[in-house]
Amino acid sequence: MSATSATSKQINRPSPTSVGTIVWLGSEVMFFAALFAMYFSLRTASPELWAAETGKLDVPFALINTLILVASSFTAQFGVFAAERMQPRSTGGSPLKWGMVEWFMISYVLGAIFVSGQVWEYAKLITEGVAFDSNSYASAFYITTGFHALHVTGGLIAFLIVIGRTFAARKFGHAEATSSIVVSYYWHFVDVVWVGLFLIIYVLK
């Protein structure tokens, strides 16, 4: 058996880190489920307030921001594909030859744009009188989207750590590849959660 095929089998075999991450993400699902339940409960109790306040949301802007985050999930997965073939960095100018580092850097930039967009939206809503302590709608909106923004920020930090480890490593190996895969699990999770939040907050107003 060649060294390449042996390494490939090692990467495809579930690692304790991957399994632990999946279990932890399961607990995060419960956390966000509780936030969703809180949002629905408050909306049911104050339908008139929700009808008035949701009219202040900039849905087209939120849709563009959502598409940016969804795109970052695709670029992150391309980075994982590169890591699985043990290609940490680009071997040419074409995107087809990019490595894990290049794809993860793009994911980082897209994620940072998303968070910046959320901050801009918060500032805009505050100028329109939708502050955190204005009413139950405002509190629910900032709590649900704010906790998600914190999770996205955590993912951005994870991207930087994985990229930094790759540059620091003398040789890109199983540990570095596994780290990139684990980070992609987390990033896909926050993307899926945001799609749910977008549908509930911006579409099903």
pLDDT of residue 13: 56
pLDDT of residue 39: 93
The pTM score is 0.86
Average pLDDT (136-165) is 95
pLDDT digits (tens, 9 = 90+) for 102-117: 999 999 999 999 999 9
**Which fold does the domain 3-203 belong to in CATH?**
Four Helix Bundle (Hemerythrin (Met), subunit A) (1.20.120)
pLDDT of residue 90: 81
pLDDT of residue 88: 86
Least confident of 95-109, 144-158, 163-177: 163-177
Average of per-residue pLDDT values in the chain: 88
Which string of DSSP letters, residue by residue, matches the chain?
--HHHHHHHHHHSPPHHHHHHHHHHHHHHHHHHHHHHHHHHHHHH-HHHHHHHGGG--HHHHHHHHHHHHHHHHHHHHHHHHHHTT--S-SSSSGGG--HHHHHHHHHHHHHHHHHHHHHHHHHHHHTT--TTS-HHHHHHHHHHHHHHHHHHHHHHHHHHHHHHHHH-SS--HHHHHHHHHHHHHHHHHHHHHHHHHIIIII--
Residue 11: pLDDT over 60: no
Residue 73: pLDDT over 50: yes
Residue 82: pLDDT over 70: yes
pLDDT of residue 136: 93
Q: What percent of the chain has pLDDT over 70?
A: 90
Question: Nearest 5°: CA angle at 140, between 139 and 141?
Answer: 90
pLDDT of residue 15: 67
pLDDT digits (tens, 9 = 90+) for 171-191: 888 888 889 999 999 999 999
Residue 7: pLDDT over 50: no
pLDDT of residue 14: 57
